[in-house]
Amino acid sequence: MNVGNDKAITVLELAQTIIKLTGSKSKIVHLPPLPEGDMTRRQPDIQNMKQLLERDFTSLEDGLNKSLL
């Protein structure tokens, strides 16, 4: 389940992290924004999830590594 995280990350940073963790030779291609507009920033409110979990969140790299297994 992906409920977000309290650390903001850009899509570019996410792509770079995935390439690094997988050893991929993929290239990142920057396309023009969509005509209807792209979101520039999004960070969900995760306070309720923090209370429900009662533990620290999984880091992005740890979560990706678990997904890649």
Instruction: Per-residue pLDDT tens, the chain, 69 aa: give them.
Output: 566 777 888 889 999 999 999 999 999 999 887 787 766 666 777 888 888 888 888 888 898 899 887
DSSP codes of every residue in 19-60: HHHHT--------PPPTT----------HHHHHHH-SPPPPH
Say what the pTM is.
0.67
Q: How far apart, in Å, do the first and last CA atoms of the chain sit?
A: 16
Look at residue 36 in the predicted model and tell me its pLDDT: 79
3-class state of residue 2 by DSSP: coil
Kindly give, in sequence order, each residue whose CB lies less than 8 Å from that of residue 17, ignoring residues fewer than 6 positions away.
Answer: 9, 60, 61, 64
